[in-house]
């Protein structure tokens, strides 16, 4: 990474481009009736991925940017699980047939906060409503501090084959500052439990840019993590947005590293993982060379959706639960964010869609360009534009933000082919943003570019 570029571009607030257009552009104009039409219009051969959002935790981590709430009563969780089952049945009925499913992802919150029998019932409901392929990847996000042996057994019996563990940092000073005290031993015990249960796909989530974090503490966390040999790492920069996430006000602004310090931390983590043999994938993922994600990156079939980088090739993502987002060929839909409003819609027999976005031809073109940049650090604009009936020259003329990136050596343009310089890949979001026709630089809705 070039420190001069980190200083120039690192403070920009930019999307992570897990969709295009991004969620702030969703509108209530797209509601339940529109979603029902889109579902019923899915082609006969379509396959889908399922995302289930479980918005509960036992304790709030102060860095969290997710839609979640703290619960002490298991009755609330059980009621929510029942609502999820009802929504699954509603969506399947609207589609009108058992659509094939290739990926299932449980996100949160803490999905494993459910009772083990409730998790098994939910998986059974999905298998009844949809045709879950035997080869389907079934992934669950896990808080190692609360996972039980009974839940691991329920996951095993339900066919779960990938687990994503929140680690963030093993530095006790950082952990206390973010209200997430989690020992290395707890994490190691969970990894051992999962592997003994046959859940072989293990992901670790790390974060840099946290309060009191240093390059040394980041490298110590990487060293400890490597000793547990996960298949993949996700490495995210902390997004401090206390105006939107009130609990982040518990984190002192003065304890946060500045842009250059964040740059150094990200660089140190990336170098350590690559030296350990992991392949860097896109903006923030690392995987073993034989992992399916590394293979997809090498074969240029990697995709990006609301879970980040994925091997999922499907064009249909069905979201279930409060705040869950779905993606269909016609556009995006998002459920009611508030749990009460979500449950009320479902119990009344209505789809819980609160807002969404209908894609235009220009959106689809730009989405393809942005996805290739985010996934491959390059894009053949001539080829992509031709597939959409557009001209690469016209697209380049509209990308005024691209000019300084070319001047600064971040981007190379060879005819219609764009490539991000190897030492500037940490600015891939800045390059993608050059093709974002909806971006409003004046709004501080997103995280720092570095």
Residues 153 and 44 in one domain: yes
Q: Is 445 a residue whose pLDDT tops 70?
A: no
Write the DSSP symbol of residue 112.
Answer: G
Residues 307 and 438 in one domain: no
Residues 25 and 6 in one domain: no
Domain membership of residue 262 as a residue range: 21-320
Asked if the structure places residue 348 within a domain, the reply is: no
Please give the pLDDT value at position 443: 59
- What are the tens digits of pLDDT across the range 171-205? 999 999 999 999 999 999 999 999 999 999 999 99
Residues 98 and 150 in one domain: yes
Please give the pLDDT value at position 288: 97
Q: Which of 320, 343, 368 is the last residue of a domain?
A: 320
Asked if the structure places residue 340 within a domain, the reply is: no
Closest CA to 142 of 183, 113, 175, 104: 113
Q: Is 1 a residue whose pLDDT tops 60?
A: no
Residues 286 and 373 in one domain: no
Asked if the structure places residue 334 within a domain, the reply is: no
- What are the tens digits of pLDDT across the range 11-50? 787 899 999 999 999 999 999 999 999 999 999 889 999 9
- What are the tens digits of pLDDT across the range 327-343? 999 999 999 999 999 99
Number of structural domains in the chain? 2
Q: Is 8 a residue whose pLDDT tops 80?
A: no
- What are the tens digits of pLDDT across the range 257-307? 998 899 899 999 999 999 999 999 988 999 999 999 999 999 999 999 988
Task: Give CB contacts under 8 A, 24+ apart, made by 197-201.
Answer: 197/152, 197/153, 197/155, 197/156, 198/156, 199/152, 199/155, 199/156, 199/160, 199/161, 199/162, 199/163, 200/161, 200/231, 201/137, 201/139, 201/161, 201/162, 201/163, 201/231, 201/232
Please give the pLDDT value at position 447: 58
Q: Report, as an integer, the average pLDDT of 379-400.
A: 96
Angle, helix 116-129 to helix 149-157, in steps of 10 degrees: 20
Please give the pLDDT value at position 67: 86
- Mean pLDDT (the chain, rounded): 94
Asked if the structure places residue 350 within a domain, the reply is: no
CA–CA separation, 91 vs 36, rounded Å? 8
CB 248 within 8 A of CB 218: no
- Whole-model pTM? 0.93
CATH of the domain at 13: 1.10.10.920
Q: Is 444 a residue whose pLDDT tops 80?
A: no
| More confident call, 112 vs 440 | 112
Asked if the structure places residue 326 within a domain, the reply is: no
Q: Residue 78 — φ and ψ, nearest 5°?
A: -60, -40
């Amino acid at each position: 990474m070039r420190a001069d570029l980190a200083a120039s571009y690192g403070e920009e607030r930019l999307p992570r481009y897990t969709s295009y257009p991004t969620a702030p552009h969703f509108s209530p104009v797209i509601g339940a009736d529109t979603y029902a039409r889109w579902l019923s219009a899915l082609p006969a051969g379509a396959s889908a991925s399922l995302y289930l959002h479980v918005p509960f935790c036992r304790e709030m981590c102060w860095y969290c940017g997710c839609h979640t709430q703290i619960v002490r009563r298991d009755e609330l969780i059980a009621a929510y699980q029942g609502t999820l089952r009802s929504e699954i049945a509603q969506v399947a009925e609207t589609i009108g047939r058992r659509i094939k499913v290739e990926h299932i992802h449980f996100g949160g919150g803490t999905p494993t906060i459910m009772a083990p029998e409730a998790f098994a019932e939910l998986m059974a409901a999905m298998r009844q409503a949809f045709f879950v392929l035997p080869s389907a990847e079934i992934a669950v996000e896990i808080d190692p501090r609360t996972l039980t042996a009974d839940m691991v057994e329920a996951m095993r019996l339900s066919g779960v084959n990938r687990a994503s563990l929140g680690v963030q940092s093993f530095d006790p000073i950082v952990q206390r500052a973010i209200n997430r005290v989690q020992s290395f031993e707890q994490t190691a015990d969970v990894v051992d439990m999962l592997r003994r249960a046959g859940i072989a796909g293990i992901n670790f989530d790390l974060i840099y840019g946290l309060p009191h974090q240093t390059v040394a503490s980041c490298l110590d966390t990487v060293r400890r993590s490597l000793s547990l040999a996960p298949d993949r790492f996700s490495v995210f920069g902390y997004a401090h947005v206390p105006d939107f996430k009130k609990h982040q006000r518990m984190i002192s602004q003065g304890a946060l590293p500045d842009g250059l310090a964040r740059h150094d931390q990200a660089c140190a983590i990336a170098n350590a993982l690559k030296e350990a043999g992991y392949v860097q994938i896109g903006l923030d993922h690392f995987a073993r060379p034989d992992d399916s994600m590394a293979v997809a990156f090498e074969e240029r079939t990697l995709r990006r959706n609301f879970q980040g980088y994925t091997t999922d090739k499907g064009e249909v993502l069905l979201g279930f639960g409060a705040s869950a987002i779905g993606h269909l060929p016609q556009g995006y839909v998002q459920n009611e964010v508030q749990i009460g409003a979500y449950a009320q819609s479902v119990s009344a027999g209505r789809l819980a869609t609160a807002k969404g976005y209908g894609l235009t031809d220009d959106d689809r073109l730009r989405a393809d360009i942005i996805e290739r940049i985010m996934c491959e650090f390059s894009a053949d604009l001539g080829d992509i534009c031709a597939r959409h009936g557009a001209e690469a020259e016209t697209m380049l003329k509209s990308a005024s933000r691209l000019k300084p990136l070319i001047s600064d050596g971040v981007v190379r343009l060879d005819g219609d082919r764009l490539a991000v310089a190897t030492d500037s890949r940490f600015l891939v979001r800045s390059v993608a943003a050059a093709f974002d026709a909806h971006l409003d630089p004046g709004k501080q809705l997103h995280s720092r570019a570095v």
